[in-house]
Structure 1
Amino acid sequence: MIETLINPADSAERRAEKLLTIAEALMRRVEQATDDSGAAYAQFQRAALLEDQVRERTQDLGRALDLLNESNARLAEAMREAETARQNLSNAIETVQEGFALFDRADRLVMCNSRFAMHMPDVHARLQPGLAFQDYVAMVSRSPHLALPEGEAAQDWAQARMRRHKDRHVIFNVRMTGDHWVQVSEHRTADGGTVILQTDVTDIIRAERHERGKLLDDQARVIRATLDHINQGVGIFDAKARLIGWNQRLGALLSLPMGRLRIGASFENLFSRFRAEMQSDDISVAALMDWVGARGRRPPLEFEVRRGDDLILDVFAQGMPDGGFVFSFTDVTAERAALVALSRANETLEARVMERTLELEDALAHAERANASRSRFVAAASHDLLQPLSAAKLFISSISGEGLEPGARVALEKAQNALMSVEGILDALLDISKLESGKAAVSVGAVHLDRLLRTLSEEFAPMAAAKGLTLVVVPCGAVVESDPAYLRRILQNLIGNAIRYTAKGRVLVGARRRGAAVRLEVWDTGPGIPEEAQNDIFKEFHRLNARASASEGMGLGLAIVERACALLGHPLGLRSEVGRGTCFMVQLPLSEAGEGLPLPVEVPERRSGPVAAEKIAFLVENDADLLRALSLLLEKWGMTVLEAASGEEALALIEEIGILPDIFLVDHQLGEGMTGIEFLSRIRAAHGPVPARLITANRGWDLRAAATSAGIEVLYKPIDPRALEAVVARL
């Protein structure tokens, strides 16, 4: 038998022995060779070289064999360790009190312990590694030891189990035969496998059931005690309309014998007498029985019934989730009687309220008539007072100061100041009267603040200078929405009050832009107003400084400001600090109509004198004193004056002399004849536009609107000589 040169199964000694044999054979062939050309030597060299290569290869093979032997030893050790670990894992899971099973990521059984499927010996005997999870579920679903839920087939249970298997974590209870229960806990591993734990929870379920039974018994006793202590009659019925619970009040309200109230009594038999005696406008007997016999969800039912002539019951029925229902009966006889009595009382009360309302309406009408009478009286009285006041002012203005003694001149100035004070008080009373009566008419339009503030600055500068105060009025080109007359009156009162109550320092008037509004502010450095007195200062005839004389005001200015701001819808604010001063604020909306419009041109007032000389003025006035005073003043200014006491007399005089005057000054109230507006309208119809002023003490909106409609400007009484001089100067 010829052996191979290299055999992995040979030992190192055997391989060396083979190589020596080969070397000896080669040497013999060399020695026997007779080649004279040196071929034998060459063969020897090749043999030596081959021996070296064989030796190296032998050494490599030796090292490879050593490595292979070492690897085999390690593999054997690893296999022993793996088997040991597997045995340890098997022993470990066997010690677990729960049933344990591990399925790989392909849903194949890897291992399980002896407690897995403990209550299913038929399934446990077939558990072998490699069993598919689906086959395991199929075996469980067909096992006779599994107690399937009522109405559920094995196939349905298996499909539901496979659906739950798709979740990563699943915990549920499974009922077995013999009243055993197993809790199944299923979890996914990191590599996609599945671990299943099965725990016997029979004792826990039974204990819980026992406790629940005790709790239900306790609850039943509590419910029974509750039902017996409420004032309603309650009957509880199951899905087949059989009585399962009630209280004693039910029998008392329905007059049911105690023998009929028993478990299982049908609704139809129990309430047969009640249905026969039932009188209800809300529901019929047939509809009630249809509701009782309905299947499924019932809507709540509420109605009222009468039993006899004395008992009224409020009935409420409610369905329950299990198909049963509850009836409750409440005695509402006393409540209904109370409602009837209350209804009768309401009727009586309504009659009394109607009677009282009529009385209040009569009282309101009487108050309105009294208020209207007072307003008419104030207007008439003011007119009668303003007539002589105007005459007095004009008479004093007609007196030249030249040639008078100093004492007479001082007395004349004091008389002039006194008349101005009286005029201010009368104006304030008229304003208060109109504002209180609610009949003050306003004409809201675009008002240019620049002209208004400039006029007020010129008006109050002398008054501030006389007290040694600095009056600063900051110009403002804004155009606001307001009634120009009332806005001027508001600012006049605020600035006048600031100057009157400020002893030293200054008064500042300015405006601030606030979004779509402008806030006018009047600051002073006066004594300030204590917080507790800030509401009282807006009352009539209330003055914070009680030492102020009547000639300095009667405390009506701020009352007019408050009412006028309320009438115009302008918010009014106040900020004050005692010892530092006060700020009154009035907020006005910006006018969209006035945006982009030029400021109105103010015609400068010029003093009369040569301009008015040789001009003719026609005075139409039925008050002799006022007529005489106006004549004297106009003649002092160099004018020729024609006089008439009525419109008819004036028309006749113009017709007689055939001369048209340069200006007409006409009183509106000329007696029983034509009014001033009618007279001027006839003059203009006959002779065209002529300069004219309507003189009146009536500041009502109706008269102002009528004059504006006729194109006639108004000069209000008491007539200010300076205003009259400005009118004449414009000629």
Structure 2
Amino acid sequence: MSLVNPEDSLERQNEKLLNIAQALMKRVEQKSEHTGLAYQQFERAALLETQVRERTIELERTLDLLQESNARLETANAETEAARTNLAEAIETVNDGFALFDPDEKLVLFNSRFCRDMHDVMSNLTEGLSFGDYVDMVAHSKALALPADQTRAQWSAERMALHSESHVVFNVAVRWGRWIQVSEHRTARGGTVILQTDVTEIMQNEREERNKLRDQQARTLQATLDHLDQGICIFDHTLALVGWNTNVEGLLSLPPRRAVHRLQFHELLDSFDDGVKYSDGQSVSRLIKWAKQRQRRRPLKFEATRKDGRTLRVFCQEMPDRGFVISFTDVTAEVDAARAMAEINERLEQGVRDRTAELGVALAEAERANASKSRFVAAASHDLLQPLSAAKLFMSSLSDRLSDDASRGVLAKAETALFSVEKIIEALLDISRLDAGKATFKVQPVRLSAILEPLRDELTPTAAAKGLELRMVTADLTVMSDPAYLRRIVQNLMENAIKYTDQGRILVGVRRYGKSARIEVWDTGRGIAEEDQKAIFQEFERRDGPADNTGLGLGLAIVERAAAGLGHPLGIWSQPDVGSCFSLNVPLCDVSKHPETPLETPRTWGKELTGQVLLLVENDIPLSAAITLMVEEHGAEVLIAHSAEEALDLLEEIQLIPDGLLLDYQLGSGMSGVEFYRTFTKRYGKVKAAILSANRSTELQRECREIDIPLLAKPLDKHKLFELLVYDLPARARNADGGL
């Protein structure tokens, strides 16, 4: 049994012990007997006093620690309150709305700008608000602007789904056309920070730019549709007419534009005459059923014939957005021609059957006519070349007597035209001579490298102008052939390969083939079907070639006849969409028995720019005349303008995009040559061009580099200008000899 209660405080226990000790001491003093019990009580009293003293010391130490802890706690509370005050003041200075949720999803801190565009939400924000309640308040706010196809519950669910990510940024539309960008981030302790930024001005600017771009695209699309030969109708996924061109209005006899906008598809079909006949089993009901299909629609192609006899070819194609496009092409003339052709074929077949007995006579007459044709072409070509040569001489004499530049320009163009006619007549004469067996071949030893290497140097720029790679693998071989005809054969084969190759490369190689050298010209062009490989060697036979459509189709005809006359076997391998290979076997020569005859060096320059149209913008009239005269001597046509405005008006008037531009930098008007080039490319696209200027500043050089065109310094160097025109501008007719 203890003398004190352990549950009492230390002060109370000490007090009781002191009282007990005093009582015992007093009792000991009162007793006279010196018994052992009294001594024991004294010892106990002394022990109790010692324990009281120790407990007192411990109590004092404990009180000191408690006072020190309280002091530190007060300091920490003061620092915490100061930090909280500073944090509150800091987030209050932020221009954006700010809120902090703790890891338990409770609102801890927010500034006055948080949810300021939603007054019904802002007034209910309190510390301790859960994140879910905050989202629910925003979802049901009157200030929240939702799309027509979205409910508030859906918005709330999508918002909570975004909250599951550690970092997310999205935009929220509010009333009065305002937009708030919400940026949500997860803190290191698992809390959530939300920033709200007003991006209304940014959204409005983007919308304006998007509307401008959409308007521009719509105008471009409408202009493109109006330039098509076909009538075009565009329907959206609701089967409503949203776009069409002017041609369809005439083909379908549509009412004014405003009346047909959003016209339904079945209403468009009703605009046809009742007597329209459809091909391939089509009908109005089947077309409507096709348009209303929910699954992917397959393309439709059929013809519709109206009461007035007009036949329209109709093509229906689905678009990615579930809309569709319908094109109408007037093929009345084609149908009538096919019908007439069928009738003619029937009459011809009947005539062939009736005149089978006369076939032998007709065949003999045809053979005689073919022979007389060659003789006639030879005679006519020779007779035509005489007055043509005389005309050229008269013009050369006349050019020395003319003093004005305009007359000289006209004379130069006439000389160019006569030169082209002369070369065509020479080609016809070559064919007639070869057909008649009257061609004269001067067979002699010829080193192949002397034939092939100049052709490589001559045609490499032509291939490069089309983006093609021209490679040549020669051999140190000497053959027996006519050097002039051999060069023309290989040149025509190489030019033909370049002409009918759109991308890839041309490879010219030589290899030994028994006792002959085999010259091969490979290309990665369009190829020739097997059934057409014989026809390409006929006169005036051309495959689908480049857009310029130059030449008469005589090149391969001369190649075949020249190779046959020389006794050089000519071979062909070709596969459509893969490429072709033309080969020529030429017999080898023993150089020890037949010394070589040196070839004449072919001329370097000629009419390399024939067929080119160049625009010269130069405000110095004498200089522009000099440049024009120099350029037109090489076959080009030059359009002259003395200012940027005059040049733009000229292009608008003639509706022709030139092949190249020569632009003076200082045009003496409000637009420089560089600015004119930028304006030109925006309207018509990029073409090869050069800036002409006496200004050699680094600023002008930098401007020319930015637009990727060369700068030619004045005074102009004739050789540099000619190299630019020949090698940098796209060439349509490099060969001044007009082919073979």
Larger radius of gyration: 1
* TM category, shorter: 0.3 to 0.5
Higher relative CO (Cα under 8 Å, sequence separation at least 6) belongs to: 1
